[in-house]
Chains A and B, each alone.
Chain A
């Protein structure tokens, strides 16, 4: 056990799947389009063009904040974050500074640990730079796509918890149906900040931020790598540098990107082009009421209502589509006396493709394979009877033609006249024949 406690916080960016951009009417679906074909004066930041906020995006941002148990600022506003970068069309990003839509929320992990959410705010995405043959190219297709930034307090102490939090967060935005959160498409971007402390109640005097991580697996690796790297430095009596690092997935290590000692000066000020956003208590309540049942609540309900083990309930509630499919199947199965447990087992074990198999067909499949119990004495009598009636077959079997047993199984089943377990009949026949 190390004497240091890792102190980890997370910033996550989630791209919303709105029809149009955050401040313009360009399509929100830019992925894979030819460079600079999904642009307009607003997202190109042409002189005189003005941003008009996307109401849908704001509503979704507030819903994410509500789903993360945040307080909502009834009076909110946008601010300009000024910095220079070639992919930033206006020389500033429209973001939120002191009055984010949501603040002071929390997520509870399966081990009972509570992760506090510091803020949930709305901003716009930047363009994208690529470098090739000594040249740099700017594609503004992504410029102005709505982004929600979710910032936690430094409440994590290991990579496993971070991973669970991220899974939960992704699950929640998918439940809300506001983002696909596809990591490979950059729809969800992760930035852990990591430091080590001797006193778990005290924040260290430095912080290492790691950017550009595009999978949950890499976040875990990044954190474990950083914990080791920083511990080595601390053991040598060095304070790790306050800096931004990147994750190199080929070399499986982090590398220094830029020093944060001289913190970026963003010169935030209220965005004069957008009046403050006022969301009434009533509207916030309407949003709250419109939230779907969230994963934690659904899981608990499944355990209780369908008497499922936690393991099954967890798998079934991972995706809202599967959870809905399961509940529909339960309804369809009621008449056929197919139980929730049978449905859960089938869906989980047979990895049923819910987009392909209808719930009624699923129920039919299960009932078709269903067997009834028969009285052991009755079955033993029938087996004796069949063996007596088919002496030739019995002789053949004993002479080594063992495939004939399937004929005998068939005979037994016909006499029983009910759908019973053939395997069980076969085993009983085998025992009688070898006796």
Chain B
């Protein structure tokens, strides 16, 4: 069983191997569970390991495979961020407030993954309630960056990114409010895909910023992201904010070339970025140029405005969303909230209060509309926009201490596109001298998933990095 080379496996390859009976889903699942058992003391990527559930799922998958059934994720072991409600399985959002909460229902994403045949390995660690970009706000301790365990994996979907980078899962599911998929994927050197807001159902995802939250995949390859996106995307009758737009076949065109693709570059997105990161992202853009893309300098709103808008809107929504954890149900009172949640509740309550609403919340709503228009104008001229995903490589553990705006700084380059509800991807481009991953982002217009996947795939083929592995 340990003969399976997990490092080189992708969803696409594993599906082939399962079909050809090179190994069974039970064997594959056991290989992952063994690796999880070995690495968890070092990485702390999981809050809950669903050992029995995983083997049960794998056995069912093997039976289906034997019958010749073909489902998009049949027998594929995945890790899921712990803010996705799982029927009968603890869902804590990495917060003590919910440390023993077992939902009686599945999030729509979980329902879809189950229908697609996945094997659930466990629920991954995150910043508590997704408040952060480090996993340091988790009430169950931070996850560690596989490339250097003295460093942070990023967040809030930090645990999910770690499982993929460390081969603790074949792929993982994360959720992004502003950066929470792309930034940890960047710091961990894997692919992270954020769909357009409304493309993937939020039903059953413990809400952070309701007008922003977008579930999405964290994978080793662009193709794997496309496979998972295909399963997740679509209108959900249980989420009124999902779009009724038809879901395209994401697997159809993503391998087409990018000759003539117009890429927009804004200098403001490179301002204050670590020189090593800047250089490698610029190299990445050159690769795209060589592949036939056309680079165009564009002027966008400076990202600093998005930070202000994002901070106000997201805190306001957080303050309201967490009100349901009122200390009456769920077994813990509100003193169980961590400092970051308390800070956000207070700031959000303040900006919504009479006399401040117009000054803060309402103004932020207006600026958000301006930012959306700004991007609309930009996408009239270019197909995608590229830049660094984060200003720095993974910071050391402890870096968030006393930094209440840590997340906003770490995510400043992905916040504008999140505020506008756009789709984007993190592509690994290389490593710093210290051996930490560097990534670049490619983002597109609303419902531009196909073009973002195609751009990412072409880059990946020109600069494949998947086989470079952390030493663990």
Contacts and interface: CB of A to CB of B under 8 A. Distances in A.
Interface of A: 41, 45-53, 80, 82, 84, 86, 89-92, 138, 265, 267-270, 272-275
A49, A84, A89, A274: residue with the most chain B Cβ atoms closer than 10 Å = A49
A50 B93 CA distance: 17
Contact of A50 (B238, B316, B324): B238
Contact of B206 (A45, A48, A138): A48
A48 B240 contact: no
Contacts of B148: none
A90 B103 contact: no
Contacts of A80: 320
A274 B202 CA distance: 12
Nearest to B98: A47
B328 interface: yes
Given A267-B349, A267-B353, A48 B328 contact: no
Contacts of A265: 353-354
Nearest to A40: B105
Contacts of A90: 323-324
Given A49-B204, A52-B239, A269-B352, A41 B91 contact: no
Given A46-B103, A265-B353, A272 B211 contact: yes
B98 A41 contact: no
B103 A50 contact: no
B85 A50 contact: no
Interface of B: 83-85, 91, 93, 98, 101, 103-105, 107, 202-207, 209-211, 237-241, 316-317, 319-320, 322-326, 328, 349, 352-354, 357, 361, 365
Contacts of B211: 272
Given A47-B91, A86-B328, A52 B237 contact: yes
B239 A50 contact: yes
A305 B93 CA distance: 69
Contacts of B324: 45-47, 89-91
A273 B352 contact: no
Contacts of A84: 323, 326
B389 to A, nearest CB: 26
B323 A47 contact: no
A90 B322 CA distance: 8
Contacts of A41: 85, 103-105, 204
A106 B84 CA distance: 48
B317 A50 contact: no
B204, B240, B365: residue with the most chain A Cβ atoms closer than 10 Å = B240
B98 A46 contact: no
B324 to A, nearest CB: 5
A46 to B, nearest CB: 7
A84 B327 CA distance: 11
A47 B320 contact: no
Nearest to B129: A47
B91 A269 contact: no
A273 B323 contact: no
Nearest to B93: A47
A78 to B, nearest CB: 10
Nearest to A24: B238
Contacts of A267: 319-320, 349, 352-354, 357
Contacts of B319: 82, 267
B240 A46 contact: no
Contacts of B240: 50-53, 273-275
A47 B353 contact: no
